Structure 1
Amino acid sequence: MSDDKSNVGGSDRSRVAGDQDYELDHFARKHGISREQARALIEQHGNDRATLDAAAEALNS
């Protein structure tokens, strides 16, 4: 992370940070899937939140 406070950007909510435990846990809880299933979806579909949401919902149907 840069120490340059003038170089700030907004959060990127369109992506799921699969390497961050809290994001992985949140995504798994949101969709009622296991952490391992969430990690597998990220590996299979990438980290685009909309794509992952659709894939997780398909698991539950």
Structure 2
Amino acid sequence: MNFIERKISVKRAISILAKNGVAVDDREADVILEFLYLVAKNYNKIEDVQNAQNPKKKSNLLKST
């Protein structure tokens, strides 16, 4: 997959990972970014599915007047 609208460059990802003690090369950083973008892209889809399966509670009882 190739995400056109990347906000984080590979160099920036390497820098962020290095600050947290993770040493990666360009190829590994690219794979990590691809994975994170894929997770982020699908995150909203999961919420939409959960909301569709759990509609807001509605009472089936007739209201007394």
TM-score, length-scaled by structure 1: 0.32
* Greater gyration radius: 2
Larger relative CO (CA 8 A, sep 6+): 1 or 2? 1
Structure 2-normalised TM-score?
A: 0.31
